[in-house]
Amino acid sequence: THKYTEKDQRPVLGPDEKSDKSELPTSKISLVMKTQKDS
């Protein structure tokens, strides 16, 4: 389930969010875009 936060205004994947914590915001965006594209 995608969850939007006022802090970054972009979708974050629940379980994956913890893995992305160490990555840059742009990396998270790319990951989400890639995931949506693969789906």
**Cα–Cα distance measured from residue 39 to residue 23, given in angstroms and rounded to the nearest whole number:** 22
Say what the pLDDT of residue 32 is. Answer: 76
Q: Which residues contact 39 (CB under 8 A, 6 or more apart)?
A: none
Top-confidence residue, 16 or 35: 35
CA-wise closest residue to 11 among 39, 31, 37? 31
Top-confidence residue, 34 or 10: 34
User: Is it the case that residue 34 has pLDDT exceeding 70?
Assistant: yes
Question: What are the pLDDT digits (tens) for 1-28?
Answer: 556 556 655 565 565 555 555 555 666 6
Say what the pLDDT of residue 22 is. Answer: 53
**Cα–Cα distance measured from residue 24 to residue 18, given in angstroms and rounded to the nearest whole number:** 13
